[in-house]
Amino acid sequence: MFYKKKGLPEEGECVLCTVKKILFHSVFVELDEYDKREGMVHISEVSPGRIRNLRDFVEEGKKIVCKVLRVRLDMGQVDLSLRRVSVSMKKKKSAEIKQEQKAEKIMELLAQKLNSNIKTLYEEFGNNVWEEYGSLSQFFQEVANGGASLKDLNVPQKYVDPLMEILKEKIKPPTIEVEKELELRSEASNGIELIKEALKKATDLAKEKKYDISISYLSAPRYRIKISASDYKFAEKAVEEITSTAISFITSKNGQGMVKK
């Protein structure tokens, strides 16, 4: 990663490390996210149980996720644990790193577009973003979704338009899903056909309104209606329209329809 945090990590924090040296009773690592900082993993914090050879668990040059146990400010020493990192913690940290790498890729694209370099971009606004947000990817995500403005951090005007173009292309708004269970009943001799027609009308409306919706059969008389959208209120409104269309049709044919809460 290009950007390096200043100072030391906090106790309890998960950090990405590169194994630098393996001794008999300890492993020395470089903290990838921090500027010129190293840490140490004692053999007792590598893995539970008896360890005969540390090289069975770690390898020089490999990256590992560790948990910060203690930070000794007077000595600038960081004590780490590998065995206290759960699978979920490791996955979360790996996802965070991937997001930051994507954000740095956006900085690289911007630099190429303006015949500049990433170092200059960080000096002119990237470092300010990190100090304010603690994350480049979080800031870009908020800007792309309209929750923040490049002007908030005084991003130079020469970067605004080209950066917004890249963000619109590379960052998609988050998608939320809303599901409802729809019941449709008909005792008519052609009841099955009427239910199919009710669902078709719902589907046709979804296509007309360009809703990202799916209708699936659960078990008679139950159907699952699921819609994906970037806004929860929009999704709720869309589901209501779709289910109301199906229910209105089936009730007009003396059938019954309802949405289960």
Q: What is the pLDDT of residues 68-120, one digit of tens each?
A: 999 988 887 899 999 999 999 999 999 899 989 999 999 999 999 999 999 99
Count H helices and E strands in the chain, helices first: 7, 9
CA 31 to chain centre: 23
Cβ-based neighbour number of residue 256 at 10 Å? 13
Cβ atoms < 10 Å from Cβ of 213? 22
Contacts (Cβ under 8 Å, ≥6 apart) of 113? 162, 166
Structure tokens at 201: 């009308």
Out of 85, 106, 136, pick the residue that ends a domain: 85
CA distance 33 to 13: 12
Rounded CA gap, 44 and 50, in Å?
Answer: 9
Domain stops at, among 110, 136, 170: 170
Closest CA to 168 of 138, 136, 146: 146
| Closest C-alpha among 5, 6, 2, 32 to residue 110 | 2
Q: Which two tokens stand for residue 135?
A: 């994350």
| Domain annotation covers residue 3 | no
Task: Note whether 145 and 174 are within 8 A (CB).
Answer: yes
Same domain, 68 and 96: no
C-alpha to C-alpha distances, 115 to 44, 102, 118, 260, nearest whole angstrom: 50, 20, 10, 58
**Lowest-confidence range among 144-153, 165-174, 216-225?**
144-153
Give the phi and the psi of residue 135 in degrees, each rounded to 5: -170, 130
Distance, in Å, from the CA atom of 180 to the CA atom of 112, rounded to the nearest integer, reads: 47
Lowest mean pLDDT among 125-134, 145-154, 163-172: 145-154
Question: What is the token pair recorded at 171?
Answer: 């960052």
DSSP 62: -
Average pLDDT over residues 18-32: 96
Last residue of a domain, one of 130, 150, 170: 170
pLDDT tens digits for range 224-249: 999 988 677 888 889 999 999 999 99
Residue 168: predicted pLDDT: 87
Tokens read off for 200: 């078709």
Its domain, for residue 187, covers 176-260
* Pair 116, 56 in one domain: no
Q: 186 and 206, same structural domain?
A: yes
